[in-house]
Each structure stands twice: as structure tokens, then as C-alpha cells.
Amino acid sequence: MRVHSLRHTYASIAIKAGADVKTLQAQLGHATAAMTLDVYAALWPENLGTVADAVNTAIEMSLNSR
């Protein structure tokens, strides 16, 4: 196993666990958060539904608190 493989595994697990992308960007030394997401986020396409659900919940909570 190469060091790069360990780095890739670490980043993939961190994203799957919900790590803050800006923090992960800094840890990996990427120039932008977009670069981090471009490289690693595509590994977890099932998260798209989870994010959409979270946004919908936040919107509903915001509307209900008015």
C-alpha cells in the first residue's frame, strides 16, 4: 500500500463521516474546497439524497419558526 492510498482512504472516510470540507481541504493541502470535492465527493453519490433531505428539513424548520 502506498502513502497516497492511505491519504485517499482517509479523505474518503472523512467525507462519508460528514467532515467539514474546508477543514478537510486544509488537512489535505488542497488549494480549494472545490478541488477536495471534485476528487473525493463523487465516491459517495448516495449522499446527494441525504444532503437534499437535510436542506429540506432546515427550510421547513426555518419556515415553522416564523
453519490: which residue's cell? 45
Domains: count for the chain: 1
The string of pLDDT tens digits covering residues 8-36 is 888 888 887 888 889 999 999 999 888 88
Q: Would you state the pLDDT for residue 62?
A: 86
Grid cell in block for residue 62:
426555518
Q: List the domain range (segments joined by +) for residue 18.
A: 3-64
What stretches of the chain show up as alpha helix (H) in DSSP?
A: 3-16, 21-28, 33-40, 47-64
Residue type at 58 in one-letter notation: A
Q: How many CB atoms lie within 10 A of CB 29?
A: 9
pTM across the whole model: 0.59
